[in-house]
Amino acid sequence: PGLAVALVGKPFEQGDANDKPAPPTMIESTLVVQPANHLQSVAIVDLHVRDGRFDFADASAMAAPELPATGSFVRARNVEIKGELGRDDGIHQRMLAYYGRVNDHNKVALADRAAPPPGPDGNRYLGVEACSTCHADARKVWDRTDHAHAYKTLTDQHKEFNLDCVSCHVTGYGKPGGSAVVKNDGLQNVQCEECHGPGGRHRDNPADKSLIIGHPSPDSCVSACHHPPHVEGFDTGAKWVKILGPGHGLKP
């Protein structure tokens, strides 16, 4: 009967790209499925055989109530891997060991890599401690958010020097006057300046409100990190309220 499903990887030159896999595609009578390649989702293919027929209709884009009432069909989808799926302890330990080796290598190999220097205006990232001297209430709000502990989620998994991870767990990564893989003292975690912009000039001249992003839009803040394949279905509006509070954007 030929191939019903073909699982394919990315071309060699694209293998390291941590992007969203191509959607399932039916080519004549064969469904071609590309799984994700960074262990952040798993490809699931369901073959529904009816009356012994192996000519499958592609139902990948259909919701459950819309599935064909007759005939064989196939559904393919990539499902985000989350904690509730469970884990195999043996594989988990092997992965931790692997990430540990990558971490140890990068800590040495990338020790001298630095962020670009500040631009002509001299603006640079200062870190949350500098912001807190004037914005104590906002600091209290930040302290209770997950952003305040973002870097620890990497160190717990030996990933703080992993190039696929670190940029979304520090502040000002790769930006002028910001942080780098190893050189990120004072800029670990997702701090104020990740949304409000570098605060060097603002600190020097706080009366000039144009030197800082006073009211950043939600989409401008989350677009760099909270998207597939890192996370599916991120609800910006629902999450935004979790980082607001007295002295930090909460309306009376």
Query: Residue for token digits 């677009």?
Result: 223
pLDDT tops 80 at residue 58: no
Confidence of residue 70 (pLDDT cuts 50, 70, 90): confident
248 in a structural domain: no
For 159-179, the pLDDT digits (tens) are 999 998 999 999 999 999 999
For 164-222, the pLDDT digits (tens) are 899 999 999 999 999 999 999 999 999 999 999 999 999 999 999 999 999 998 888 88
Radius of gyration of the chain from its Cα atoms, rounded to whole angstroms? 23
Contacts of 46 (CB under 8 A, 6+ apart): 74, 75, 76
What number is the average pLDDT over the span 33-39?
A: 77
pLDDT tops 60 at residue 117: yes
98 and 69 in one domain? Answer: no
252 in a structural domain: no
250 in a structural domain: no
137 and 51 in one domain? Answer: no
Lowest mean pLDDT among 6-20, 37-51, 132-146: 6-20
Decide which of 53, 85, 117 is a domain's last residue. 85
Return the structure tokens found at 42. Answer: 């798993």
Q: Which residues of 109-130 are buried (b: 16+ CB within 10 A; e: fewer)?
A: ebeeeebeebeeeebbbbbbeb
251 in a structural domain: no
**Residue 49 Cα distances to 46, 76, 185, angstroms:** 10, 15, 58
192 in a structural domain: yes
Decide which of 85, 106, 127 is a domain's last residue. 85
160 and 132 in one domain? Answer: yes
Q: How many domains does the chain have?
A: 2
pLDDT tops 90 at residue 123: yes
166 and 139 in one domain? Answer: yes
Give the separation between CA 14 and CA 165, rounded to whole angstroms.
18
52 in a structural domain: yes
**What's the pLDDT at 215?**
92
Whole-prediction pTM value? 0.78
Annotate 24-39 with DSSP letters as a single string: PEEETTEEEE---SSS
Range(s) of the domain holding residue 60: 5-85
Average pLDDT, the chain: 87
45 and 58 in one domain? Answer: yes
What number is the average pLDDT over the span 16-38?
A: 77
139 and 41 in one domain? Answer: no
Annotate 106-162 with DSSP letters as a single string: HHHHTTT--PPPP-TT------HHHHHTT-HHHHHHHHTSGGGGHHHHHHTTT-TT-
35 in a structural domain: yes
249 in a structural domain: no
Sign, CA dihedral 13-16-19-23, equals positive
